[in-house]
Structures are given as C-alpha cells and as structure tokens.
C-alpha cells in the first residue's frame, strides 16, 4: 500500500502545531532543524499510511493559503468519533468557519489553521 506524505511550507511551524497536534490529535512523528536551511515537523499517527510535513526555509517567506477551497478532508463515519474530533478542536479554541463550498457544511465542519488552510471534519462515510 502506498504511503502519502503531504508537505507544505509555512513561515511559522510553531503556530501550526497546536491546530494539527492538539486540535486534530495528530502526533509529532519527527522534527528537524537546519537541514540544508530547512526546519520541519512531521505529524500523523504511527502506522497510518499518511502524514503531514510542515517546512520552513530559513530566510524565505511564503504566502498563506491561495484560496479558502484548499482543503484536507477527514472522513469520520462514526458519529461518536466525529463528535469527539469536533469537540477536541473546540476545546483547543478552534471554532468552525463557514465553508467556501457550502457542500462541506451539509455534513461536516470546516476549521482554519494559522496559515489560512482549511481542514474539514466530514461525517458521512467515504464513497469511492
């Protein structure tokens, strides 16, 4: 099975960590500093086939999200699991925002990180 890594640059890794670690409940799997001028943090769950990496190239600035429709979607089909995920986000002071595409508000909630990128906690099961 393939493993997926999503890498995104940021100006401030520390500002993103509370959202992904505390709010979404991901674990910090690895951190590095000044690797060829880059700092980074990888988050996910041990044994999961995906993880997220946030990098910062020292001395370089990056823009935030190009639009409000740049999304990561987590499908949580179990209502209790979905509600726990939503409650955890709110407990860490992350409040839902109105989705750019109203489809995501029908069965889920959208949250925005410090860089303006959005994550949807979607309740219905994934349908391939």
- With contact defined as beta carbons under 8 Å apart, do 62 and 117 qualify? no
Residue 122 confidence (pLDDT):
97
- Judge if 8 and 53 occupy the same domain: yes
Task: Work out the pLDDT band at 61, boundaries 50, 70, 90.
Answer: very high
Please compute the mean of the pLDDT values over residues 44-63 and round it to a whole number: 96
- The mean predicted confidence, pLDDT, of the chain is 96
Task: Specify the CATH number for the domain of residue 11.
Answer: 3.10.180.10
Q: Is residue 42 located within the same domain as residue 19?
A: yes
In a domain, 66, yes or no: no
Q: Are residues 9 and 47 in the same domain?
A: yes
Q: What is the pLDDT of residues 112-124, one digit of tens each?
A: 999 999 999 999 8
Is residue 126 pLDDT above 90, yes or no?
A: no
Query: Which 8-state DSSP code applies to residue 118?
Result: E
Q: Are residues 15 and 37 in the same domain?
A: yes
**What local confidence, expressed as pLDDT, does residue 78 receive?**
95
The verdict on residue 43 lying in a domain is: yes
- Establish if 42 belongs to a structural domain: yes
Do 10 and 50 lie in one domain? The reply is yes
Do 53 and 9 share a structural domain? yes
pLDDT band at 1 (very low <50, low <70, confident <90, very high): confident
Its domain, for residue 48, covers: 4-57
Phi then psi for 120, rounded to 5 degrees?
Answer: -105, 130
Instruction: Count the domains in the chain.
Output: 2
């Amino acid at each position: 099975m393939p493993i997926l890594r999503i890498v995104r640059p940021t100006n401030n890794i520390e500002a993103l960590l509370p959202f992904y670690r505390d709010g979404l409940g991901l674990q910090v799997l690895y951190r590095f500093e000044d690797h060829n001028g880059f700092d980074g943090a990888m988050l996910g769950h041990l044994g999961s086939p995906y993880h997220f990496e946030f990098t910062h190239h020292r001395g370089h600035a990056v823009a935030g999200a190009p639009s409000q429709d740049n999304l990561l979607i987590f499908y949580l089909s179990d209502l209790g699991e979905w509600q726990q995920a939503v409650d955890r986000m709110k407990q860490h002071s992350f409040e839902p925002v109105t989705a750019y595409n109203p489809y995501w508000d029908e069965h889920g909630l959208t949250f925005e990180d410090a860089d303006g990128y959005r994550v949807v906690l979607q309740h219905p099961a994934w349908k391939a």
